[in-house]
């Protein structure tokens, strides 16, 4: 279990480093478009419609207790995933823990991450609009069934997405 915990921590640290590196080397601008749902006061929309099946915070799974740095939203395999806000895709690739992962930089230190995707609809460097389909729900990486793992990061640090949705 320790090796798995170390691997998960490394995935999270690598994600934070990817976000910070991309944000410091570019000045992302967000272009606005009509959202698929009404944005929250922070400007983000829900990436999928479904129940939160695992919250942000410490949790224990199979004897491994660690920080869960996002929320899991229970939806079916192949469900379209929508960009929570406009921005630039700074990462679209595979990670051992997150599986198929897309990270979108929204500017101002704000980024969102969408993990465990079955497939991507956009690639690194793409400009995406709020509500645009960026990928499809799956179960890649470390997961127990199809769902979207969604993270909000501010200056690379994970924060509770529910405070932004």
Domain edges within the chain: 2-163
Residue 149: is its pLDDT beyond 80? Answer: yes
Q: Residue 42 has what pLDDT?
A: 81
Q: Residue 37 has what pLDDT?
A: 61
Percent of the chain residues topping a pLDDT of 90: 70
Q: Residue 3 has what pLDDT?
A: 56
Residue 156: is its pLDDT beyond 90? Answer: yes
Query: Which has more pLDDT, 156 or 26?
Result: 156
Query: Over the stretch 110-124, which tens digit does the pLDDT of each residue have?
Result: 999 999 999 999 999
For domain 2-163, give the fold. Answer: Glucose Permease (Domain IIA) (2.70.70)
User: Between vectors from CA 10 to CA 7 and to CA 11, what angle results, nearest 5°?
Assistant: 90
Query: Which has more pLDDT, 144 or 82?
Result: 82
């Amino acid at each position: 279990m320790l090796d798995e915990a170390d691997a998960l921590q490394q995935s999270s640290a690598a994600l934070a480093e990817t976000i910070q590196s991309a944000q410091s080397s570019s000045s992302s601008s967000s272009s606005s478009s009509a959202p698929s749902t009404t944005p929250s006061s922070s400007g983000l929309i829900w990436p999928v419609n479904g129940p939160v099946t695992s919250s942000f915070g410490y949790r224990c799974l199979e004897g491994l207790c660690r920080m869960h740095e996002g929320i899991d939203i229970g939806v079916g395999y192949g469900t379209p995933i929508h960009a929570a806000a406009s921005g630039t895709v700074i990462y679209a690739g595979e990670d051992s823990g997150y599986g198929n992962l897309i990270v979108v930089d929204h500017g101002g230190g704000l980024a969102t991450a969408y993990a465990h995707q079955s497939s991507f609809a956009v690639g690194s460097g793409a400009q995406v609009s709020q509500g645009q389909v960026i990928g499809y729900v799956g179960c890649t990486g470390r997961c127990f069934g199809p769902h979207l793992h969604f993270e909000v990061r501010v200056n690379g640090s994970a924060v509770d997405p529910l405070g932004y949705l």
